[in-house]
Structures are given as C-alpha cells and as structure tokens.
Amino acid sequence: MRKPFPLRRSSISRGLWPSLFFWLLSFSNSHALWKEGKDCPSSSCGPGVNITHPFRLKQYPQDCGRPEPEFELTCENNNTQALIHLPPRRYYVQEISYKDKKIRLLDPALASSSSLPLYNSSPSLLNYSVSGWDFRTQRLVFVNCSQPAKATAPCNHSSLGTHVYATLGNSIFVSQLHTSCRVVMNLPIILDGIGNLTSCSGIHDVLMRGFYVRWYNADHFSVRGFLWSCFTAMWNCLVSYYLLPRTIIGILFFLVFLIAKFRTRHIWMDTTVEEFLASYRFQTPRRYSYLSIKKMTKNFKEEIGQGGYGKVFKGKLSGGGLVAIKMLKTSKGNGQEFINEVATIGRIHHVNVVRLIGFCSEGLKRALIYEFMANGSLEKYVFMHEKINNLCWNKMYQIALGIARGIEYLHRGCDIRILHFDIKPHNILLDEKFTPKVSDFGLAKFYPTEQSIVAMTAARGTMGYIAPELLYKTLGGISHKSDVYSFGMLLLEMTGRRKNIDAFAEHSSQIYFPLWVYDQLHKGEELVMADIANNDKETAKKMMIVALWCIQLIPTERPSMSKVIEMLEGSIEDLHMPPKPLLSSTQTLDGDHSHN
C-alpha cells in the first residue's frame, strides 16, 4: 500500500512561537492585574476552616474564587460546619491547607453514626472524574464473606450470619478473594499513623479522621476554568489600552496556527482514505455524493439512532428501497474506522451480517449506507421496560443462534478471518422478521485464516463485553476467542433480560448475574425468571450453560463459535457444566473505573 505523501511544515508555524509566547506573556500580565484588583474578604466556617481563593462561600460572587461549583462551600449547623459538593456526594470540610493545595474531607454518613455503615453506603464514595481534583488516596476495601476467611480486621455481624473484613489497598483482584466473599465497598482513608484495624470500632476511628484530596491550579486542568480566565483576562486587556495591540496580534497568530494544523491533519486523513477508496473502486458497495445523501434523507429529516460514532438517519434510494444512513463524526485519526467498515462489510455476504449498500466520502463528510433494519437494535428487546418489546423465548433463542452463525462466518467463512471486537446488544440489528444482523465494524481487525493470534497495541471494545486477555496479556493471546467471550456476555443478558452487572439488584447475590446463574445451576435449583413458561425453561438453561462456557477466563478453555452453534442446536443432555466463571479481570472491584 502506498504511503501518504509527505507534508511540508508550514512557514507560518515555524514563525509562530515567538508571537505565541508574546501573547501568553500579555495574557499573564493582564490576568495578574485582574486578580490583584479584586477585593474579596476571607471568611471562616467552623474551627480551623479559613475560606479564601480558590474556594468561596455560596453567597459570595463567583469572582471571589474559582467559578466551578466544586469550589463552592456552604455553612451549616449555625455556621459551624463547612460542606463541599463533589458529585455525587457532599462532604464535611475538616481542614484546608492552601500551602499544600489539599483539603481533608469526612463522609457525613460516618460522622452521624458510631458504627460502620456497611449496608447503606455506595461501593465507592468518590467520583474520580470530577475535573480539577486529584483523588489518589489510600483506601480500605471491605469484603463480606459467608464463611470465615483470612483477612485484616474481622467485623462479625452475627445477626446477619456474615463476616466482614477490611484490607488496605486501592483495589482487590479476583485472585485475592475467597470464593465465599464479595466486595461490599471501599472507603478512602489517611494512611499516616493508621492505628488500630483489629475491630469495627478501630476501623471506625480511622475512618473518622477523614481523607485528603488535592486540587489543581485552574490553568492546569479545567477547560471551563481556563476559558473563564481567558475571558476575564482579555476583558481587562481591552480596558488596559497599552495591552490591546499585542493581545490582538497574538490571538490572530494563534488562530492562524490552529487553522494550519487543522488543515494539515485533515489533508493527511483525506489522503489515506482516498488512497484506500481508489484501490477499492471495483468492489460492490457504491460511492454516493454528499448531495445524494441529503436527498435520500430529505435533508436529514428522520433520525433513528445515535452513538459515539455519530447519528443514523432513515433514507430512501431512488429505486424506493429504505436504507439506514450513518453519518460519521469527524475522526481524530486517519479515517481508519471508516476504512474498516467499508473494507470489512463490503466483502461480506451473509444473512446474519448487515449489508453495506454504499458509502460517501466527500471532504470531511463521511457516511455509510446500510440496509434498513425495521426493528432496530436488540438492545431495546433485551433490556425491556415495556411488555410491547417482550420477545418470546423461542424467538430469543433463534436470534441468539443467528448471531452465533454471523460471528462464526466472520471467523471462518471468508477468505480472511475477521474479529469484530465489539459484540453487544446495541450492535445487533433486527430486520422486519427479527432476523439478527451483526453490525458496526469500526473496531474490527482482519488477518489471514492461518494466523491464530493477533498482535494489538491497545484494548478495544465496550466495558462489560471486553475479553479479559485484551487487557491482561498473561491470560493468553488475543484471537477469535475474544469474540466468543463477548458473545457469552451478550447471551447471558439475553436470557436474564438484564445487565450482567447491576448494583441495584434485589439481592446482593444477583449483582453479578453470571455468578448467580452458575450457583443456581450448580445447586440444581430452578431458575426464577420473569415471563418464562415451563416448556421454555430447558431452552433458557441450555443458553445459560453455553454462555458460561463462552465466558471462561482463559481463552483456550472457551469453545469456538462452530462449537457454540453445535451446543445451541444440540440436546441439553449432551451439555455438562463448565468450571465456575471468575469475575471478569477487565474490572477491578473498586467500582470506580470505566473503559471506553
């Protein structure tokens, strides 16, 4: 494949840096003038809590501190207790160190009780995505075991017949847990002089000391804070006439630089895509102009879906056939997702894989034109909220079998092997007869059929469906078995009509659905499920056993998709129970991480 032509560095960008430095200098000067001109009184709320910039009381103007709501404090209990709101919770402020830029917080649930609130607290007290704050702090992880186990600080609740243990660490992995244990929650602490951890009261005393979090300067982290500073600083530049000329010149040069960079990046990306399309012009999918796309959709009149990739619109071909047109967002890379879709789906012809009719690539406008799926995605039938979306068990079984056949075709039916890497309900479409179609090949990877292991530099997929070996290489190589894992998680959600991980499940044993299913089947207990007739229970049981085989932690212990089809089509008497599935190693049990 030809390499994209080299691009010359613009002479504008070479001469930009002195001007950019000049503008930043003027910005900092004006910003300093603005800060020095403010006259905001300091205040206090409770013993030892002096409130000044970057914090401010709620009744003070935003100029007296940082404008973000996370830096706004309130006084309660007759002005003796300061509170701060770091979504999703509020905390008591015990101490503020402006020198070290850190603040000591206490959870009100602990302050109002003399015992550990183990059964009414959320698994984690902190939201680690709050902009401008550093939440890296030591934590106590609490584990609830049905049997005694070796651990730090036993906290027996005899009335509940359980044993609660606490252990130090930011997270606990599956290999550290006893089989009878599950994580209840984790709480942040101050590590220095941690004290007594041998009893419930000792643990409570440690937690009552609170925990530290740090904040960053506004110009280091926050887009909102930075934009606000830019606005106020430039306003003062306009007032200060001697700063106005160099500020305007600096801004103009900076805008020119951004435009040059934007054009350079998209010229490179367009070149990559056009080279691919030039070599692809004799293949089946047809290329349409952007004007034709607007005509098909009646100027994008009817939106039928959207996601991280962009929006999907309903359209009609000149011959009268209905189509779904996916308008892609501007890519941050070199158009690889667009190339993947065209190159992958364009060469596939299978009843259980969505058909690509055409595409559009015109400047920054890119679109993919698919056959129209009248019943939308499987997602709305799996996670049903209304009876109208409730599919019978036989239909759900047929859909599962169709999905398996589609994936098996990707793995073995083409002259190349295609790994999807994003099998989930949202990416399974249903036509007017509820025939399932595997769709969305933006993350797909293809390689020769004789090659069994794929080399990858980064994980890809959706959390909850990603095979563990994509994140932990020690478990085994990445192969077609990664799609098998994702199919297993999808199959469990189809049988349970729920997410596999549900923190709000009626019983704690049902939070992680795969383990609950295994325990029920292993004990020989009857599965209690909604809207299932006696003659459908055998089908549901067979689907669950097959799914449990698919989600085995080690890739080599999972069946191929050909074997999965054989198991689904065969008799349940021919199936035997797989080993107990461990929690997915893609998730540490601290409840704080997400992957996208």
Binding site residues for ATP, as ranges? 326
Verify cis geometry, omega within 30 degrees of 0, for the bond prior to 54: yes
**Residue 302 CB partners (closer than 8 Å, separation 6+):** 313, 314
Half-sphere exposure of 523 (CA within 13 A, CB side): 9
| Active-site entry in 205, 219, 422, 531 | 422
Strand residues in 37-138 grouped as ranges (E): 43-44, 50-51, 56-57, 72-76, 81-86, 89-97, 102-106, 133-134
Burial 268-296 (b: 16+ CB within 10 A, else e): ebbbbbebbbeebeeeebeebebebbbeb
HEC readout, 422-477: CCCHHHEEECCCCCEEECCCCCCEEEECCCCCECCCCCCCCCCCCCHHHCCHHHCC
| Catalytic residue status for 422 | yes
Nearest residue to 411 via CA among 250, 562, 216: 562
Separation of alpha carbons 7 and 308, rounded Å: 30
Coil vs helix vs strand at 4: coil
Starting at the edge strand found earlier in the chain, the sheet holding 310-316 runs 286-287, 356-362, 365-371, 322-328, 310-316, 303-307
Rg (CA), the chain: 29
Q: Supply φ then ψ for residue 362, to 5 degrees.
A: -140, 100
- Annotated catalytic residues are 422
